[in-house]
Amino acid sequence: MREFMQYITNAFYGATGWNDDNTYKDLNATAKGLIDFPLPRGLRLNLSSLATPHFATSYQLGTIGVVDGSISYLHSTIPLTNIAAQSDRIPLSALLRSYRRLHGLGSRDGQWCWEAEDTTPAGAAQPAASTTSPSATSAGSTLLYGRLYLPQSLLEALVVRRLTPELQVQLSAVSERSLRNGGTILGLMQYDRGKYGIEGLFSTDGGLLGFRGLYNFGGDTSPSSPGSPTGPASSENSGNGQSSEKERIYGRFSAGGEVYYGTLNKSGGMSLGGRFATLPAHRGTPLTATLTINPLMGNINATYAVLAKDYCALATRMEFNVYSYESEWAVGMELWSNRRPAGFLLGADPRNQEVVPEPEVPKIKERSFQAKLEWRLDDEGPGPSVPNAPENCEEYRGVLKARMDQNLRIGLLWEGRAKSLIFSLGTGIDLRKLDEPFRSLGLEIQYSS
Amino acid sequence: MAFNFNWSPLTADAGFYKRARDLLTTALNKSPKPPIIVDDIIVTEFNLGSVPPDLEILEIGDLAEDRFRGIFKMCYSGDAFLTLKTRVQANPLNTCLSAKPGFTSPQPLAAASSLTIPLQITLSEIKLSAFIILVFSKQKGLTIVFRNDPLESLKVSSTFDSIEFVRDYLQRTIESKLRDLMMDELPAIIHRLSLQLWCPDQIAKEDDDSKETSEPGVNPLATPPLDAVDVHGHLLDPAAISELSLDGGPEAQLLFSQKTLLRLSDMTNSQVTSSLDTSTTKDVLIRAWAGPDRFDATATPPTATPNLVRTSSYTASAHTYTFSDSGSQDNGSIPSRPSLVHLHSATAGLSLGSGRHTKSGRKKKTRVVDLRSKARAGTETEPASEQGDETSDAASTATNPMSEPIMPHETLDLPEDELMSSKIRFNRSDRRPSFRTQAPNAPLATQVPSADIRKTDQTEGQASRTSEKAKEPAAPETSKAEWKRSPTGPMSDTSSVILEQAWIMKMAGEIARRVYEEKHRNPGFWDERDDVPPPAYDEAH
C-alpha cells in the first residue's frame, strides 16, 4: 500500500504535469511493485488528512513490540483540488495497483494516470483529450514535506521544486544522531524533454555523484507515428491508419543507463537498461519487459510483467551473475477482487451494493485463432476504439498480492477497503522452515479525511 | 628450578585442532559482521606450527602443584597459520548503501546489484609480542590475560592479492578484528580449552553457573554447603535445606554451625580491636591439598568465566574494599599469622565495615612483597590442616582458599609512586589497556559490596553496642545477621575470585611500571610506537 503522503506527492506530480515514467530509476517499477511489495510488520495505524488543498498531515502509530510513530506534514504551493483524499473515496488503484501503464509522452497533459481514470473516465487514455495544460502554471510550484519519527528522533525532509516545465529539483535530507555527520542530503535535478529524461544527483554520503539518463524511441515517440503507421501496414486494413497502428504490438522502447562515483570513498557503479512497454493505446494485453545489465558486476536482470486481465497482473524476474554464477528468480501476482473484503465480518449490506453501480465492463473481443497465428488483431471497424477507458476503480474492493522466490519464501498481502478504512494484511512464509513457517505478520490500517 | 614447556603435545592431540577450529569459528561469528561480509566465517585450517614462542619469565607469583601464577613476556614469530573462508560483497555501492537510510538513497536501478565472491584468507607470519599474565589452577583451568596489544604484525594473503585496494582493505580490517580477538576472545577460548583438558566435569557445571549468575539476586541457599549441620551438629538432608528460604528467619541460621560462627566472629572481633589474643582455627583445609574432586558445588569457585570482561569487573570492587579494609586491619602482619588469613578472607565479604571504626584512616607501611615468607607460612599451616578432620562444615568450606587472602596485601604493597606511574602508563602509552573495558562496569560492581557495607555497618553498630555488655553472645548474632543478609552465596567463591583478580590487577600495575621505566630508559622506541598508530586505527570508520 502506498502511503498517504506518497499518494499526495504523486498527486502533486500529476497536478504539475510531471511525467515520472521518464526516469531511469523507475525503469522496472512495475515488476518491482508486483514482486517486491513491502509486507506490513506488526500493527500500524495511519491517520491522514488533506486539510486544505495545499496542506496535508499524516500521523502514524505502530507497534512491533515497542510503540513507535511518526508525524508528517506536507505543503504544496499549487492546490491539489481534484483528488479524492477521503479514504472511502480514494481510488484503490491509486494506492494499491502495481502494474504501471505508461503515460503519454511530451504532451504534459498533467493527468496523473489513476486520477485521470477516475476524474475523466471518458478520455483519459488519450492524451489529446486532456483539456487543460497545467504546465504553464506548474513552473515555480513547490512541495515541502517533513516527517519526524518519534522514538528515534529521525527527521526526513523533502523539497520538490519545479523550476521550468522541463526542470525539477528535489532535495531530500535525513537527520539522525547515529548517522555519520548527523545526516545525509541528496540533491536530485531532473530534466525531462519527453523524448529523453536525464537526472543528475549528488549525495553528501560519500560524496556520491550520479548521472542517469533515459531515451525513448519507437511507439509514439517516432515523428511519423501520430498519424501514420510506423511500419508497412497490413494489406487488410490499410485504409485506417488508427486501427492499423494498434494492430501490432504497439509500445515504446526506452533505453538508459546510470553512472555513480563516490568522490570520498573512491567507489563507483554503473548499469545499463532497456524496457519495452505497451502504450495505453495498445489493444492487446499490456505488458512490460525490462532488461538491465551491470557490466562491472556481471549482473543481468530481466523482468517481464503482464496485465493478463484487468483484475490479474503477473510478473517474473530472473537474475543471473556471469561472474559468480549466482541466479535468482521470483514471481509475483496481483489478483483483484470485487467481492467485499471481510464481508463475513461486516455482514451483508445491500445498501452498499446499490451505492456502487456496476459499471459496464467494456467487452474485450477475443482474437480469432487465425489472427493470433498471424500476430495481429482481428479486423474490426473503427468503432469503440477506446480500450479500457471506462475502467472504474471502485469496481474492485480488494486485492491479493503474492510472491515467491527461489528460496521458497512466500509473501502474501491482502489489501482492500472495509467501510472507510483501507487495510493491508500481510504475512511472510518460509517454506524451508516448516516448523515455524510464519516469519512475519502485520496489519496496517489507513484512514484519511 | 626449571620449567619444561611442551609445545608439540598440543599439536599431537588429534582432536585438538578440530576443537580449536570450532571454537574459533564460533568466536569469529559472534560479533556483528560488517556489511561486506555476507556469510559466516568458517575456519578451515589452523596450525600452530613447529616453532614455539620465546617466553621470558618476568615474575612468578604463586607456585604449587596445582596452581601457577606468573607473568611472561612472549615473543612469537613462528610458522603458525590460519585459513578462513567466507563470502564477501564485491560491489562497493551495495555495501555503501545497505546501512544508509532509504529516504536519501539515490536508488540506483542495477548499479548496486550484488556480487558475492567466495573468499579465502590465510593469516601467516604472525608476529606477537606481549606481556602475558597467566593464572592456572586445577579447579579453574587456565586464564590468560594480555596486558598489551599482542599483535605486532601478520601477513594476510587472500584471493584478492592482485588487487591492491582490496588487499589493503583486508589487511586493515583483519588486523583490527584480530586485535579484538586476541584481547577479548582468545583468553576465553583458552580458558574453555583448558577446562576441557583438566577438568571436564566443570564444563557442564559452567553452563549451570552461568545461568545462575545471570539471575539478578543469588540465593545463598540455592547452593547450600556440602555437609550442612544444624545447631547440634547433626547433618541436614538436602530436602530440609531446600525448604529453607532466605527470609526464613532463624531457620536459615541453623544451617551453619553455631560453634564455627562463634569462632569466626571471635576472630573478626579480635581483628577489630587490637587484641593480641588471636585464636587459631583447627579445621583448615588447604586448597592445594585437595584435588578437584574434593570440591563440589559450594567449594569450587564459579568457573563460568567465558567473558573475561565481565569477571574482571569484580576486580575493581575487590580493589576498592580490600584496600581500605584489610590494609588498615592487618598492617602487613598477616604473613606471620597465617591462621588468621583465611579467616579474614572468609569474612572479608561479610564484615566489610569491621575495620572502619577503628583504623580506617591509617595507611599501611609495608611495601615489600615477600613471597617466600608466605610460602613458608603456607607450609606451617599444613600440619594443622592435616590434623583437623576433613569433614568440611560451613566454616571450612568458606575458608577453603587458603592461599588467596595473602594476595590482596600485595595490592596494597604497591608504593604510591608506582600507582602513579601506572596511571601515566595507561594514559599515554597503552592504547588498549585491559582496564578500559571494565571501567564502566566498575561502579555497577561496587554497588554490591557497598550495599553490603551499609548493611553490615548497621549490624556492626548493634554488635559493638552489645559487645560492651557481653562480648561473647553478641558475636554470633552479628555473624548470623551477616550470613543472612549477604546477597551473594558462599563467600569463599566470590572472595577467591575477587582476590585473584586483585592479584592480576597488581601484576598489571607492576608490568605497567616496568614498561614505563623501560620507556624512560629508551624513549625513542616507545615514542615511535605511540605516534604511529597501527594501521588498523589509521582509518577507523
Q: Model confidence over A345-368: pLDDT tens digits?
A: 444 444 444 444 444 545 555 566
Res. B117 pLDDT band, cuts 50 70 90? confident
A and B: number of Cβ contacts within 8 A:
100
By Cβ distance, the residue of B96, B104, B115 closest to A297 is B115
**A315: part of which helix (H) or strand (E)?**
strand A312-321
Say if residue B498 is in the same domain as residue B371: yes
- pLDDT at site A396: 82
B106:A201 CB<8 A:
yes
User: For residues A265 and A164, what is the distance between their CA atoms, to the nearest angstrom?
Assistant: 34
* B27-31, B317-321, B415-419: least confident range: B317-321
A260:B104 CB<8 A:
no
CATH number at residue B87: 3.15.10
Residues 6+ positions from B124 with CB-CB distance below 8 Å? B79, B80, B81, B82, B154, B155, B157
Domain boundary among B143, B164, B199: B199
CA nearest neighbour of B501 among B272, B318, B264: B318
In a domain, B381, yes or no: yes
User: For residues A3 and A19, what is the distance between their CA atoms, to the nearest angstrom?
Assistant: 20
Which whole number is the average pLDDT over B139-144? 82
CA nearest neighbour of A216 among A276, A167, A128, A271: A276
By Cβ distance, the residue of B106, B111, B115 closest to A321 is B115
Name which residue leads in pLDDT, A416 or B288. Answer: A416
Q: List, as one string, the DSSP characters of A158-196.
A: EEEEE-SSSEEEEEEEEE-TTSGGGEEEEEEEEEE-SSE
In a domain, B533, yes or no: no
Domain boundary among B199, B230, B259: B199
Q: Is A260 on the interface with B (CB under 8 A)?
A: yes
By Cβ distance, the residue of A24, A172, A203 closest to B109 is A24
Highest mean pLDDT of the ranges A99-103, A362-366, B479-483, B519-523: A99-103
Residue B219 has pLDDT above 70, yes or no: no
Q: What percent of chain B is predicted at pLDDT more than 90?
A: 0
Say if residue B263 is in the same domain as residue B343: yes
In a domain, B207, yes or no: yes
Domain boundary among B199, B215, B239: B199
Domain assignment of residue B259, given as a range: 201-525
Residues in chain A: 449
In a domain, B375, yes or no: yes
Question: Domains of chain A: which residue ranges?
Answer: 4-225+247-378+386-448
Say if residue B191 is in the same domain as residue B214: no
Residue B276 has pLDDT above 60, yes or no: yes
Determine the residue among B36, B97, B113 to mutate to test chain A binding: the one whose Cβ has the most chain A Cβ atoms within 10 Å: B113
Which residue from A minimizes the CA distance to B539? A265
* A77-86, B122-131, B340-349: least confident range: B340-349
Which residue from B minimizes the CA distance to A184? B104
Residue B516 has pLDDT above 80, yes or no: no
User: For residues B226 and B243, what is the distance between their CA atoms, to the nearest angstrom?
Assistant: 16
User: For residues A402 and A406, what is the distance between their CA atoms, to the nearest angstrom?
Assistant: 14
Which residue from A minimizes the CA distance to B88? A324
A296 contacts on B by Cβ (under 8 Å): 91
Say if residue B226 is in the same domain as residue B183: no
Say if residue B180 is in the same domain as residue B213: no
Say if residue B63 is in the same domain as residue B173: yes
Interface of B with A (CB under 8 A): 90-93, 96, 100-101, 103-117
In a domain, B9, yes or no: no
Res. B95 pLDDT band, cuts 50 70 90? confident
Say if residue B278 is in the same domain as residue B420: yes
CA nearest neighbour of A361 among A428, A417, A413, A310: A310
Residues in chain B: 541
Residue B362 has pLDDT above 90, yes or no: no
Res. B283 pLDDT band, cuts 50 70 90? low
Q: Model confidence over B493-512: pLDDT tens digits?
A: 555 667 777 778 887 778 77
Backbone angles phi, psi at B198, to 5 degrees: -100, -40
Parallel, antiparallel or unpaired: strands A287-294 and A409-418: unpaired
A145 contacts on B by Cβ (under 8 Å): none
Which amino acid would we find at residue A306? Answer: V
Residue B214 has pLDDT above 50, yes or no: no
Q: List, as one string, the DSSP characters of B313-329.
A: HHHHHHHHHHHHHHHHH
DSSP state of A255: E
CA B217 to chain centre: 21
Shortest Cα–Cα distance, A438 to chain B (Å): 24
Res. B306 pLDDT band, cuts 50 70 90? very low
Which residue from A minimizes the CA distance to B110? A271
Say if residue B428 is in the same domain as residue B294: yes
In a domain, B537, yes or no: no
A273:B103 CB<8 A:
no
CA nearest neighbour of A295 among A314, A318, A268, A317: A268
A27:B109 CB<8 A:
yes
Residue B460 has pLDDT above 50, yes or no: no
Highest mean pLDDT of the ranges A170-179, B3-12, B311-320: A170-179
Name which residue leads in pLDDT, B283 or A363. Answer: B283
Say if residue B233 is in the same domain as residue B90: no
Parallel, antiparallel or unpaired: strands B141-146 and A421-430: unpaired
User: For residues B109 and A254, what is the distance between their CA atoms, to the nearest angstrom?
Assistant: 14
Say if residue B160 is in the same domain as residue B302: no
A273:B110 CB<8 A:
yes
Residue B141 has pLDDT above 90, yes or no: no
Which residue from A minimizes the CA distance to B96? A206
Shortest Cα–Cα distance, A144 to chain B (Å): 15
By Cβ distance, the residue of A203, A262, A267 closest to B104 is A203
Say if residue B370 is in the same domain as residue B343: yes
Q: Model confidence over B398-423: pLDDT tens digits?
A: 444 444 444 444 444 444 444 444 44
Name which residue leads in pLDDT, B159 or A245. Answer: B159
B107:A298 CB<8 A:
no
- pLDDT at site A188: 94
What integer best gives the mean pLDDT of chain B?
Answer: 62
**B420: part of which helix (H) or strand (E)?**
helix B416-428
In a domain, B100, yes or no: no
Which residue numbers in chain A have pLDDT < 70? Answer: 105-137, 222-248, 340-394
B96 contacts on A by Cβ (under 8 Å): 205-206, 208, 262, 265, 267
Which whole number is the average pLDDT over B426-436? 42
For chain B, what is the domain count? 2
B108:A210 CB<8 A:
yes
- Cell, residue B101: 537510510
B113:A273 CB<8 A:
no
Name which residue leads in pLDDT, A400 or B233. Answer: A400
CATH code assigned to A4-225+247-378+386-448: 2.40.160.10
Q: List, as one string, the DSSP characters of B155-224.
A: EEEETTTT-HHHHHHHHHHHHHHHHHIIIIIHHHHHHHHHHHHH-THHHHHHHHHHHHHHSSS--TTTS-
User: For residues B448 and A71, what is the distance between their CA atoms, to the nearest angstrom?
Assistant: 44
Q: Is A172 on the interface with B (CB under 8 A)?
A: yes
Shortest Cα–Cα distance, B84 to chain A (Å): 19
Highest mean pLDDT of the ranges A5-9, B1-5, B217-221, B476-480: A5-9
Say if residue B209 is in the same domain as residue B124: no
